[in-house]
Structure 1
Amino acid sequence: MNFKFFKKHLFITIFWIVLGITLWLNFQANDSKYDALLQTIAILFYSIILTYYLTEKLLPKALQKKKMKQFLILSIFFILTLSIFNSFVFTYISVSSKKPLPVHFSDQIPILWKGFYLSIPASLLIIGTACGIRFYQEHGKIERDHILLQQDHLENQLKLLQDQVNPHVMFNILNHIHILLKKDTELASFLLLKFSDILRYQLYECNKNEVILENEIQYLKDLIDVEKLRWGNEIDVSTSFAIMNKKAMIAPLLLVPFIENAFKYVSRVPDYKGFIKINCSENNNQIHLSIENTYAKIPIQSKHVGGIGLQNVKKRLNLIYPAAHQLNITENGQLYKVDLTINLSST
């Protein structure tokens, strides 16, 4: 707290010290040390009061409410006010010490007017510099707050998208187990063990912004094993994983929807065996996922799941890897292909 206070007031404090020394040296060249000190203290004190109210009270409100035109008008008024004050100080301390002033105030006006005119550049410099320093600080604070708000919004959006993936995956696996319990209890028991591994990963790992790539790949392999058991000999599934840097980091559950989508839409028609080919590789912190499957326009599992997956993952890719990914999806009525490249070092 003390450091923030010191950092906030450091530049303005240096400015006032430099201004005070400059004023004193300037006045001392023409007046006695006492008169020079008196003028310096008076002008410095009044300048600090005016600029404090202007920069600490009015400027933040003007920036917040976007009323900078009104603030500019008030700043001009404050510059004129400071110039009038400086004129009186100059006239009644500096001028009066050299020669007697006219008795009547009306006769003093030409002297005051001259002092006012000569004080405008100095007043403009004082208030302009003080406002400039404060504007820089306040604008920087607003920008930082805006970035934090954007970051919070993105994190909340990512959390929402990720939370949509989790029940989606869990629903599919539980549905498989439910079906197998009626057909093959031993196989259902094996799937329950797989399910516990998958659930453990999602509960303890997927609440992080990034996970170890090796763990994410193992999670994908478990899901693929579940799907293989689910479909048995009805489809051919081939996989290839070549991960060079197993400790690389990746956003969790980012690749799952593509694999789920392949099993969801793979063709399964009489006298024709559909296939799914999954290739995933990583080299130099760049991951490449390629999926190819025979394609059926009506998804096999449409009665069980909604179309959350691909829309979800596209949004997540744009949020997490906005300029570090390439996604190409093509289909020709028979084959469905996904080609995804992510530069993991860009997060």
Structure 2
Amino acid sequence: MNIIVIKIFKKATLHLLFWFMVWFFFFSFFSVGSTNENFIFWFSSILSTISIVSSYVFVYHLIPGFLIAKKEKLFVLYTFYAVIFIVCAVLMTVVFGFVFFYNLEYQKMPGLTKNSGVILVCVFLIIVLTSAFKILKHNYKSLDEKKTLENKFLQTQLQLKEQELKFLKMQIHPHFLFNTLNTLYGFALKKSEKAPEMILKLSNLLDYILYQVDKPKVLLQDEINHIEDYISLEKSRFQDSLQVVFDKDVKDTQIEIAPMLLLPFVENAFKHGNQIDGVLKVTMYVKVDENELNFRIENSAIIKENSKNGIGLENIKKRLQMLYNNQYLLEISSEEKMFKVNLKIAI
């Protein structure tokens, strides 16, 4: 209640100050050439009253009720009525001074106070100013509300995208974990001496996909390091039946990308790749050239008709669209005994 009272008090104070300035303007303007301060006082007070009533009729009734409400014909009609009322009121004010202060001696009246045209211009000027202020205030408020609605809409869209992105990440977790744990399971069956080293690398990978993936950006070098750990795990599983080439040309170690952006492509190559002549071949290349990241990966594969991409590859396509919009190019192609992915991202 206190805040409402304060607002009302401030508004009333501003209105009183404005109308006092209007009255003072009338008093100063029409007192030119007159020594009858009593007459000028009442004359200015009556004109101020006409201006106040007319202005409030326009500001609080005609403009919001008809002009803003798109009822232009009614607004013009009622404006015409209001103009007639104002003209009659001004003429009656002149007659009031003529009769009660100058005893019907028209020539003794100050020149400005008996000029109906000047008086009407002054009154209409005040009404136009207040009406214009009302319209400007309405337009500003409408723009502000429109901007607020747009911001809420954009914020809602952003929240939806964030939720969708989280959903995609949640899909990546179990998908990637399942494949990695299968690799470790194979080593456990073989009771390999490399199992402790594999568990350590797997632990690093788990930390990355469970915790680091929630960050909006990670260092490209971290992504590369985890790709190398994953390759190491796969090498231990495939032994001599795997040939991997991983070339890197990254000079700036501070470049950041979205987490788990490249790793799913690598995983897809090992999971869906096929051994040809007893060997699975995987070739990878990462290069940062000016403001562009280039990533290319190829793997040997037996292409089947109507074959579909895995969950990981579909998810990464959606993530790329959400995270980089039109600032990336993804090309996926299948040739004879070879599956290729070429990704370019503006960074």
Assess same fold via TM > 0.5: yes
C-alpha distance in 2, partners of 1:248/1:179?
36
1:266-288 CA distance string (max 9 Å, x none): 2214x442311011112324211
C-alpha distance in 1, partners of 2:143/2:73?
19
Secondary structure at the residue paired with 2:200? Answer: helix
Q: Contact 1:27 / 1:39 at 8 angstroms: preserved in 2?
A: no
Structure 1 position 162, deviation (Å) = 1.6
Secondary structure at the residue paired with 1:72? Answer: coil
Counterpart residue type for residue 175 of structure 1 = N
C-alpha distance in 2, partners of 1:24/1:337?
83
Q: Contact 2:293 / 2:345 at 8 angstroms: preserved in 1?
A: yes
- Cα distance change of structure 1 residues 37 and 186 upon mapping to structure 2, 3 Å threshold: farther
C-alpha distance in 2, partners of 1:317/1:70?
49
The answer to whether the aligner puts 1:34 opposite 2:68 as a matched pair is no
- Cα distance change of structure 1 residues 129 and 274 upon mapping to structure 2, 3 Å threshold: same
Q: Which residue of 2 aligns with 1:291?
A: 297
C-alpha distance in 2, partners of 1:201/1:75?
65
The answer to whether the aligner puts 1:340 opposite 2:343 as a matched pair is yes
Structure 1 position 296, deviation (Å) = 2.1
C-alpha distance in 2, partners of 1:221/1:313?
19
Structure 1 position 47, deviation (Å) = 4.7
Counterpart residue type for residue 292 of structure 1 = E
- 1:316 pairs with 313, 316, 319, which one? 319
1:70-98 CA distance string (max 9 Å, x none): 97346876776677567545543x23201
Secondary structure at the residue paired with 1:225? Answer: helix
Q: Contact 1:245 / 1:285 at 8 angstroms: preserved in 2?
A: no
- 1:150 pairs with 150, 154, 157, which one? 157
C-alpha distance in 1, partners of 2:67/2:207?
59
Structure 1 vs Structure 2: percent identity of aligned residues? Answer: 26
Counterpart residue type for residue 216 of structure 2 = N
C-alpha distance in 2, partners of 1:230/1:79?
86
C-alpha distance in 2, partners of 1:79/1:126?
19
- 1:98 pairs with 94, 98, 104, which one? 94
1:90-122 CA distance string (max 9 Å, x none): 543x2320136xxxxxxxxxxxxxx9xx89988
- Cα distance change of structure 1 residues 176 and 209 upon mapping to structure 2, 3 Å threshold: same
Unaligned segments of structure 1, at least 5 residues: 1-15, 59-68, 101-114
- 1:239 pairs with 198, 222, 246, which one? 246
Q: Contact 2:55 / 2:131 at 8 angstroms: preserved in 1?
A: no
Structure 1 position 194, deviation (Å) = 0.8
Q: TM-score, normalised by structure 2?
A: 0.71
The answer to whether the aligner puts 1:282 opposite 2:288 as a matched pair is yes
Structure 1 position 252, deviation (Å) = 0.9
Q: Which residue of 2 aligns with 1:111?
A: none
Q: TM-score, normalised by structure 1?
A: 0.71
Structure 1 position 251, deviation (Å) = 0.8
Counterpart residue type for residue 293 of structure 1 = N
C-alpha distance in 2, partners of 1:191/1:75?
80
Structure 1 position 123, deviation (Å) = 8.9
- 1:72 pairs with 66, 69, 72, which one? 69
Q: Contact 1:24 / 1:40 at 8 angstroms: preserved in 2?
A: no
Which structure has the larger Rg? 2
Q: Which residue of 2 aligns with 1:254?
A: 261
C-alpha distance in 2, partners of 1:127/1:207?
50
Secondary structure at the residue paired with 1:182? Answer: helix
Counterpart residue type for residue 288 of structure 1 = N
- Cα distance change of structure 1 residues 123 and 334 upon mapping to structure 2, 3 Å threshold: same
- Cα distance change of structure 1 residues 229 and 185 upon mapping to structure 2, 3 Å threshold: closer
Q: Which residue of 2 aligns with 1:175?
A: 182
Q: Which residue of 2 aligns with 1:212?
A: 219
The answer to whether the aligner puts 1:326 opposite 2:329 as a matched pair is yes
Structure 1 position 50, deviation (Å) = 4.3
Q: Contact 2:303 / 2:334 at 8 angstroms: preserved in 1?
A: no
- Cα distance change of structure 1 residues 33 and 268 upon mapping to structure 2, 3 Å threshold: same
Structure 1 position 126, deviation (Å) = 5.6
Q: Contact 1:177 / 1:192 at 8 angstroms: preserved in 2?
A: yes
Counterpart residue type for residue 274 of structure 1 = L
C-alpha distance in 2, partners of 1:148/1:72?
30
Coordinate RMSD, CA, aligned: 4.1
C-alpha distance in 1, partners of 2:24/2:320?
62
Q: For this pair of structures, how many residues does the alignment match?
A: 298
